[in-house]
Amino acid sequence: MRIRLCLAALSLAGGAGLATLSAPTASAATCSDIDVVAARGTFEPGTLGVIVGDPVYSALQKKLTGKNLSSYAVDYPADLSLTSAAQGNADLVNHVNAQAAACPNQRFILVGYSQGANVVDNSIGISSDGAVVGSPIVATIPAALEPRVAAVLLFGNPIRALGKSVTGTYQSRTIDYCAKGDPVCENGGDDVLAHLGYTADADAAAAFAAGKV
C-alpha cells in the first residue's frame, strides 16, 4: 500500500510539474501508417501522459518523418482500483483489433508508463498480476496481429520489481526502461523521484522504435 500511495503522489506531482508541455491530439485513428497506442501512469494527466506518452509521441513524429502517425490514449481509470489495469488491458486490445480490421496496412507502437506498462504487458501476454497496480490478463493481441506491432516502449514497468520482463515473440521489439532506484520497477529501490524522470528517455525510445518500423 505504501508503494501504491507513493505512486499516486508521484504521478500527481509529475503532472503538476509538467502540465505546460504541449500535447498531441489523441484520436481513435484513421488509417495512418503507424498508430501510437499509449497507456498513461496512475493519475497521470496529459493527452497520452505528460511524463511519457506525450513526449514519446512528439519524438516519434520527428524520427518517423516519412510516416503518417496517429495516436490513441488507452481509455481506462489509471487509478488505484483493483480493476483499473484490467480495464486498460481490455481497451487496448479492443482498439488494436478494431484498427487492424479497419486498416489492413496499419502498424502499431505500444507505449506504457508505470501502471500503463502493466496494461501493455498484459496485452502482449505477460501477466502483471501481483505487481504494483497490476492485474491478471483479460485479453491479448491475437497472434495474427503480432507482426503488426512494430515496437513496445515501456517505462517504470512494475513487473520488473517481481523479476519479470517481456519475453517471447515481442522481446526483440521491446525496450523497457527502469531508472536506478525507482521503487516501482526496482525491487528495493528507494529513490521515489526516479519514477518521474522518464521524459529524458523519450528520444532514445523513439529512435529504438524507428529502427523497428
The one-letter amino acid code at 136 reads: P
Catalytic sites, residue numbers: 114, 182, 195
Per residue in 132-189, pLDDT (tens digit) is 999 999 999 999 999 999 999 999 999 999 999 999 999 999 999 999 999 999 999 9
Per residue in 29-77, pLDDT (tens digit) is 579 999 999 999 999 999 999 999 999 999 999 999 999 999 999 999 9
Q: Is the pLDDT of residue 16 over 60?
A: no
Does the model's pTM come out above 0.85? yes
Q: Does 25 or 77 have the greater pLDDT score?
A: 77
Per residue in 71-121, pLDDT (tens digit) is 999 999 999 999 999 999 999 999 999 999 999 999 999 999 999 999 999
Long-range CB contacts for residues 12-18, cutoff 8 Å, separation at least 24 = 12/43, 13/196, 14/41, 14/44, 14/50, 14/51, 14/196, 15/43, 15/44, 15/45, 15/46, 15/50, 15/51, 17/196, 18/46, 18/50, 18/51, 18/199
Contact 102, 26 (CB under 8 A): no
